[in-house]
Amino acid sequence: MIEEFSITIKKVKKPKSCDLNQDIQIISQSFGLFTKRDKEKSCFRIFLEIVKNRNGVTAEDITINTHLTRATVIHHLNYLIKSWLITRKKHKYYLRGGTLEGLIREINSDMSNTFDELNQIAKNIDSELTLK
């Protein structure tokens, strides 16, 4: 069975001095939440609403708090779910892992497991092709 997820990871250089807002932006940039097409930073604003609401937040609340259209909010929520950055339980959206640190820990684990599996497949291919 193929479990598919898509996440963008970018290395963003952190300035020597940062405030809380800049740190959140660095994490968001690292996750690819800023794109040239998203001029209003809608995805970042939605992600920030979810980060700030540990008890979950509804799409309606996000729409009201960000002043974005419901269609825009739903579009970005679907992207964030597909990227495994957030989860949905009932009608609320949550940050995966509960905190930003938890989120990064879970993504790290996912990537490590994926690379372990790829490494084993590559090892088998190398062995069958007598490349080892």
Q: Tens digits of per-residue pLDDT, 57-93? A: 999 999 999 999 999 999 999 999 998 999 999 999 9
- What architecture (CATH level 2) is domain 20-96? Orthogonal Bundle (1.10)
User: Which phi and psi angles does 92 have, rounded to 5°?
Assistant: -120, 150
The DSSP element (H or E) to which 94 belongs, if any, is: strand 92-95
pLDDT tens digits, 17-57:
878 888 888 898 898 888 888 888 999 999 999 999 999 99
The DSSP element (H or E) to which 51 belongs, if any, is helix 42-52
CA 16 to chain centre: 25
Q: Alpha-carbon distance 30 to 78, whole Å?
A: 19
Break the chain into its structural domains and give their ranges.
Answer: 20-96, 99-132
Q: Report residue 97 as tokens.
A: 């892992």
